[in-house]
Amino acid sequence: MQNILCYGDSNTWGASVEGHADGRYPLGVRWTSVLQANLGDEYRIIEEGLGGRTTVTDDPIEGTWRNGRMPLLPILHSHRPLDWVVIMLGTNDLKTRFNKTAREIALGAMVLVDDIKREDIGAAGEPVKILLICPPPIIEDCDNPMAILGGGEAKSHEMPAHYEEMAEKADIYFMNAGAHITSSMVDGAHWAASQHKIFAAEVAQVISEN
């Protein structure tokens, strides 16, 4: 059985824009569980999504514990051995108060990649495979735009090129989520259930073919 850790923010947690209880899509809807169904019993999907999680930045307002680097190593080692780590972070780094460029956000994601590479967490003595995913662009002209992301849409369109460039240099797998799905017009940052299904199929293809 292959163990796959999915490390991300509210879209990995399954934040719903469709009125589900507790604001979360249920199993069978959120992309991690759809991925499990697509890949089958030979794989085990480990969900590690947290709303507001950044790449490497402390959030002085929403909590420094949302810094994605802080819990990463304990999480990696608590779930090892791992065959894959799937990382999708960067949307929360677009918050206006952080004032980051698209390249700086990608560099933050690569700090996490480097941290993972240094750890002996792979199965059967093999290095863990890493899939870095650039989140889809946010949409500011939507029904209920998130003010904390104001001014971030243009940067979110610049991010994929930087993520891909750095992933290539690091010799890891890369996926541009925005090539397959779009953020919801409800709030411009989270996804409709239909997008979770599409996204899971794309991730499953990368993993099953590699």
Domains in the chain and their CATH numbers?
2-208 (3.40.50.1110)
List C-alpha distances in Å: 50 to 25, 41, 201.
14, 25, 22
Pairwise CA distance, residues 1 & 40, whole Å: 10
pTM of the predicted structure, to 2 decimals: 0.97
pLDDT 10s digits, 36-68: 999 999 999 999 999 999 999 999 999 999 999
Upstream peptide bond of 145 is cis (omega within 30 degrees of 0):
no
State the average pLDDT over residues 114-127: 95
pLDDT 10s digits, 190-203: 999 999 999 999 99
What share of residues in the chain are helix, strand, coil (percent, to 5)?
45, 20, 40
Residue 49 gets which letter from DSSP? Answer: E
Pairwise CA distance, residues 58 & 70, whole Å: 9
101-130 burial, b at 16+ Cβ within 10 Å, e below that, comes to: ebbbbbebbbebbeebeebebbeeeeebbb
Residue 10, pLDDT > 90, answer yes
Give the Cβ contact number of residue 33 at 10 Å: 18
The SS3 of residue 121 is coil
Q: What is the CA radius of gyration of the chain?
A: 16
Q: What is the pLDDT of residue 125?
A: 87
State the average pLDDT over residues 138-157: 96
Residue 74, pLDDT > 90, answer yes
Q: What is the pLDDT of residue 50?
A: 98
Residue 5, pLDDT > 90, answer yes
Torsion angles phi and psi, residue 165, rounded to 5 = -60, -45
Average pLDDT, the chain: 97
